[in-house]
């Protein structure tokens, strides 16, 4: 009887390992799909995950869009509105990401000027490029903006 139990346990472990391998493959395929896609609305995200045989994995989408925003700011010193327009990621979400990145000191406000997208005055221009932080146009004290 013990021999049969061990054989069943071994088969179950093999099946479980195969499922985990398939799940890992599906997650990697989902990540690749999200990377090559334009922004996917959050209401469609669970449907996309299901099509890959996965539960809803919000972190996959979140990580991609955060990285996309960061990469954009590495290359462009611009406003959140302009980054939103270029990346197609919703402005409101990018404002949340901006706050998070500022706290982690991954991005900085380089200067304040008129937004090229909205035309609004006194808008923060952001950069994730440390070389831009040292620019002569950079704000002397970015904490001044936090006073308001």
Q: Are residues 98 and 143 in the same domain?
A: yes
Q: Can you tell me whether residue 34 is helix, strand or coil?
A: helix
Among 13-27, 70-84, 132-146, the range scoring the smallest mean pLDDT is 132-146
48 and 69 both lie in a single domain: no
Q: Give the residue, 27 or 13, on which the prediction is more confident.
A: 27
Asked if 144 and 73 sit in the same domain, the reply is yes
Same domain, 47 and 69: no
The enclosing H or E element of 12 equals helix 2-36
70 and 29 within one domain: no
Structure tokens that stand for 146 in this block: 């936090």
Q: Which residue is it, tokens 């509105």?
A: 81
- Taking residues 36-49, what's their average pLDDT? 96
Q: Give how many domains the chain has, as a whole number.
A: 2
Do 42 and 79 lie in one domain? The reply is no
Please tell me whether residues 72 and 21 are part of one structural domain. Answer: no
Question: End of a domain among 56, 75, 98?
Answer: 56
- Residue 72 domain boundaries: 62-148
Instruction: Round to whole Å and give the CA distance between 83 and 89.
Output: 8
CA angle 71, 72, 76 (to 5 degrees): 125
Strands (E), 21-72: none
- Are 99 and 137 members of one domain? yes
| Same domain? 41 vs 66 | no
74, 108 Cβ separation under 8 angstroms: no
| 43 and 88, same domain (yes or no) | no
User: How many angstroms separate the most distant Cα atoms in the chain?
Assistant: 80
Q: How many CA atoms lie within 13 A of 75 on its CB side?
A: 9
Q: What is the pLDDT of residues 51-104, one digit of tens each?
A: 999 999 999 999 999 999 999 999 999 999 999 999 999 999 999 999 999 999
Distance CA 86, CA 101 (A): 19
Q: Do 34 and 97 reside in the same domain of the chain?
A: no
pLDDT score recorded for residue 140: 46
CB 125 within 8 A of CB 108: no
Specify the residue for token string 């195969």.
18
> Does the predicted model carry a pTM greater than 0.85?
no
């Amino acid at each position: 009887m013990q021999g049969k139990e061990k054989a069943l346990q071994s088969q179950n472990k093999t099946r479980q390992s195969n499922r985990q391998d398939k799940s890992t493959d599906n997650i990697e395929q989902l990540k690749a799909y999200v990377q090559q896609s334009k922004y996917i609305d959050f209401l469609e995200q669970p449907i996309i995950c299901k099509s890959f045989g996965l539960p809803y994995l919000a972190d996959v989408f979140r990580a991609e869009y955060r990285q996309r925003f960061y990469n954009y700011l590495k290359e462009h010193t611009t406003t959140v509105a302009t980054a939103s327009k270029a990346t197609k990621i919703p402005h409101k979400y990018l404002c949340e990401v901006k706050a998070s990145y500022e706290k982690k000191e991954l991005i900085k406000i380089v200067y304040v000027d008129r937004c090229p997208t909205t035309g609004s005055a006194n808008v923060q221009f952001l950069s994730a490029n440390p070389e831009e932080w040292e620019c002569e146009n950079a704000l002397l004290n970015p904490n001044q903006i936090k006073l308001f």
